[in-house]
């Protein structure tokens, strides 16, 4: 992986996932986790349930031993910052992770405006991330539109920020300006892996975006391929 824009302040590579809060009501058309959660529910795996992607608090996971010195993706099986998530759930998770100063934690959401509600409860071992797939509103999700997410991240007073541009959707020139204004430490970028026939940019356009990002941030490019409609 080419990390030409990497910084000495990078959190490193994600090594673990941990899901104290699961489920999501954004209903993104390309969501992989919803189907996976249904399969887990059919096998009786808790806290997943047969009621769609219903949010749940796996409180027992707060008692799990978390390995020291790792970089955790927190709640990759849901959006723990959705408006539907009770404040006390989030406070319980943050309270625990503030004490895990030897480990690092990535949060990711399509509702980054809610970070402001908990600004005083974050610690420097936490990276606050947002998924912003494009600057256009394709209405593929019930989450706040891309511009609202961008404005929330741009105004977020926090040093450790990350962006996930995945699955990447076709974008306009202002998209790179959005990213620069947010000033993330890390940017993950990649195409859809699940054959959803999304409104993807051509690979050449994505490569130009990636090249422009190098030098201003730590770029984690993966699953870069031709758009589904391009000749193979």
Per-residue pLDDT at 182 exceeds 50:
yes
Q: Which domain holds residue 147?
A: 16-221
String of b and e for 85-96 (b: at least 16 CB within 10 Å)? beeebbebbbee
Q: Give dist(CA 80, CA 90) in Å, integer.
A: 7
User: Is 229 part of a structural domain of the chain?
Assistant: no
Centre a 10 Å sphere on the Cβ of residue 82 and count the other Cβ atoms it contains. Answer: 19
User: Is 10 part of a structural domain of the chain?
Assistant: no
pLDDT in tens, 158-173: 999 999 999 999 999 9
Mean of per-residue pLDDT scores for the chain: 94
Q: How confident is the model over 17-37, as a mean pLDDT?
A: 96
The pLDDT of residue 232? 59
pLDDT in tens, 102-134: 999 999 999 999 999 999 999 999 999 999 999
152 SS3 class: helix
The pLDDT of residue 206? 98
Candidate from 51-55, 93-97, 205-209 with smallest mean pLDDT: 51-55
User: Is 47 part of a structural domain of the chain?
Assistant: yes
What domain count does the chain have? Answer: 1
Residues 130/185, Cβ–Cβ less than 8 Å: no
- For the record, the structure tokens of 64 come out as 């799990």
Answer yes or no: pTM beyond 0.85. yes
CATH number for the domain that contains residue 185: 3.20.20.70
User: Is 104 part of a structural domain of the chain?
Assistant: yes
The pLDDT of residue 129? 98
Question: In this structure, what are the phi and psi dihedrals at residue 84, rounded to the nearest 5 degrees?
Answer: -80, -15
Per-residue pLDDT at 8 exceeds 90:
no
Place of tokens 């999304």: 198
206 SS3 class: helix
């Amino acid at each position: 992986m080419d990390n030409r824009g990497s910084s000495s302040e990078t959190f490193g590579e994600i090594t673990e996932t941990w899901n104290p809060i699961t489920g999501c009501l954004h209903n993104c058309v390309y969501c992989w986790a919803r189907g996976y959660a249904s399969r887990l529910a059919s096998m009786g795996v808790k806290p997943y349930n047969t009621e769609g992607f219903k949010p749940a608090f796996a409180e027992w996971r707060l008692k799990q031993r978390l390995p020291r010195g790792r970089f955790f993706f927190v709640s990759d099986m849901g959006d723990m910052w959705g408006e539907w998530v009770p404040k006390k759930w989030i406070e319980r998770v943050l309270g625990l992770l503030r004490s895990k100063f030897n480990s690092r934690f990535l949060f990711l959401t399509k509702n980054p405006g809610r970070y402001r509600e908990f600004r005083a409860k974050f610690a420097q071992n936490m990276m606050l991330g947002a998924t912003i797939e494009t600057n256009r509103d394709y209405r593929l999700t019930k989450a706040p539109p891309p511009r609202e997410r961008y404005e929330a991240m741009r105004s977020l007073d926090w040093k450790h920020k990350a962006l996930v541009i995945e699955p990447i959707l076709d974008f306009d020139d202002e998209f790179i300006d959005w990213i620069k204004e947010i000033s993330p430490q890390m940017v993950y970028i990649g195409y859809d892996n699940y054959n959803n026939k999304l409104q993807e940019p051509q690979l050449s356009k994505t490569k130009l975006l990636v090249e422009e990002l190098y030098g201003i941030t730590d770029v984690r490019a993966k699953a870069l391929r031709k758009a589904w409609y391009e000749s193979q």
